[in-house]
Structure 1
Amino acid sequence: PSFSGDSRPVENVSWEDSQAFIKKLNELTGKAYRLPTEAEWEYAARGGNQSCGYNHAGSNKLKEVGWYEENSHLETKAVGLKYPNELGIYDMSGNVWEWCQDWMSEEYYEECHKQGVVENPQGPAEGVYRVVRGGAWYLIPWYCRCSDRFIGTPEYRGNGIGFRLVLPFQSVG
């Protein structure tokens, strides 16, 4: 990590680094953690079924919910210091970009758009670039919108890129 502090998001990790971490975590816990798909990430950032339609995760005013170039003093901040979104999730707009499981393909998204409503698309099976979402501490608000995406090669590391894990629901029975 570029910035110190136990409560700051991990950053300067590649998509490949995240996969190595997930593999080890799953071996230690016996669970099935993973990165969210891009669709899952956006659904969560927008507040799920409780969405109010905000541009940023929990507000149209980024300063209320995220860290970006105007308020970050050019560094990451501890998580949970701003307001959460409608689902109670913090820091999905700004602070650090978050790797998603998906490969990036404009053609894939164009095809989904032609089909109309597509429920929980999984992204293309292969590609050159992986998707990152959420924006980062050094960016203007436009890049911290729930709808914005960026890309990186799987081995790319940057001080504005980290990851967030998901743990799929497993019913007991």
Structure 2
Amino acid sequence: MTPTIKDQMVEIPNGKIELRDDRTKEKWTVEIESFLLCKFPVTQDLYFEITNENPSTFKGDLLPVETVTFKDAVNFCNELSVQNDLTPCYLVQEENEEITFEKSANGFRLPTEAEWEYACKAGTTEIRYGELEMIAWYKDNSENKTHKVGLMKPNAWGLYDMLGNVWEWCSDLYDTEIYGSYRIFRGGGFCDVERSVMATTRRRSHPLKFKIDDLGFRIAKNK
């Protein structure tokens, strides 16, 4: 890994997490293998360095990149992997717009939603890892815009902006029988009210068409 990326990756320990779907009231437990997760959401300077593009609505090198589709996020992960001589985790088939995730590959990827929630909670069982005003940019304190990453208090594992600022794409499909190829995103954004900015909140949308100014992503990697 390049020094900048290596320095920003945090080792997340083994464990397990219980997930819940409020729509179906279903609960399930997922075993988590230790993995690496970036301290911050991907910033605009890093995104530009890898893709030579900056699609963000709010411009600033250390602001989180946003207004990106799920496909944009996985293409970034693949390109970052290639530039670091690693095996890409995603196969993007342009002809049928299908995206296949190979979690065992050694390249960069999006976290699964189980990994994301587990890392966000950082060993606790609470819906937030601290007082909301201290840990997250949300509707009441954001002035309706994104903010530089890392300004708020991190969780116990040293991860910043897991809640608020921008939502974060995860690798998982939501419910293929009802929503087809829709992918999950987590964490809440700068324009969300308090009740939406929780470790347990799940949202989903179209992987190729949906992009908005409070949705970005964070990179993960197998150890």
TM-score (norm 1): 0.80
Counting strand residues as a fraction of each chain, which structure ranks higher?
Answer: 2
**1:30 is matched with which residue?**
85
- Counterpart pick for 1:55 among 111, 119, 127: 127
Shift in Å, 1:36: 0.4
Paired amino acid for 1:23: N
Which runs of structure 2 are paired with 1:19-98 in the superposition (5 Å)? 19-31=74-86, 32-47=107-122, 51-56=123-128, 58-59=129-130, 61-98=131-168
Shift in Å, 1:6: 1.1
1:130 partnered with 2:205: no
Q: Relative contact order (alpha carbons < 8 A, sep ≥ 6): 1 or 2 greater?
A: 1
Paired amino acid for 1:52: T
Distance in 1 (CA, whole Å) between partners of 2:145 and 2:217 is 17
**1:6 is matched with which residue?**
61
Distance in 1 (CA, whole Å) between partners of 2:162 and 2:82 is 27
SS of the residue corresponding to residue 72 of structure 2 reads: helix
Q: Where does structure 2 lack aligned partners over 5 or more consecutive residues?
A: 1-55, 87-106
Number of residue pairs matched by the alignment: 146
Shift in Å, 1:89: 0.3
8 Å contact kept, 2:171–2:184: yes
Query: Aligned Cα RMSD in Å?
Result: 1.5
Distance in 1 (CA, whole Å) between partners of 2:161 and 2:58 is 17
Decide whether aligned partners of structure 1 residues 4 and 40 sit closer, same or farther in structure 2, where only a CA change above 3 A counts: same
Shift in Å, 1:26: 0.9
SS of the residue corresponding to residue 167 of structure 1 reads: strand
Shift in Å, 1:23: 1.3
Per-residue CA deviation, residues 58-98 of structure 1 (Å, 9 max, x unaligned), is 21x21110000000000001111110001110000010000
Which runs of structure 2 are paired with 1:135-154 in the superposition (5 Å)? 135-154=188-207
Shift in Å, 1:53: 2.8
1:162 partnered with 2:216: yes
Q: Where does structure 1 lack aligned partners over 5 or more consecutive residues?
A: 108-125
Q: Percent identity?
A: 38
Shift in Å, 1:106: 8.8
**2:30 is matched with which residue?**
none
Decide whether aligned partners of structure 1 residues 106 and 20 sit closer, same or farther in structure 2, where only a CA change above 3 A counts: closer
**1:112 is matched with which residue?**
none
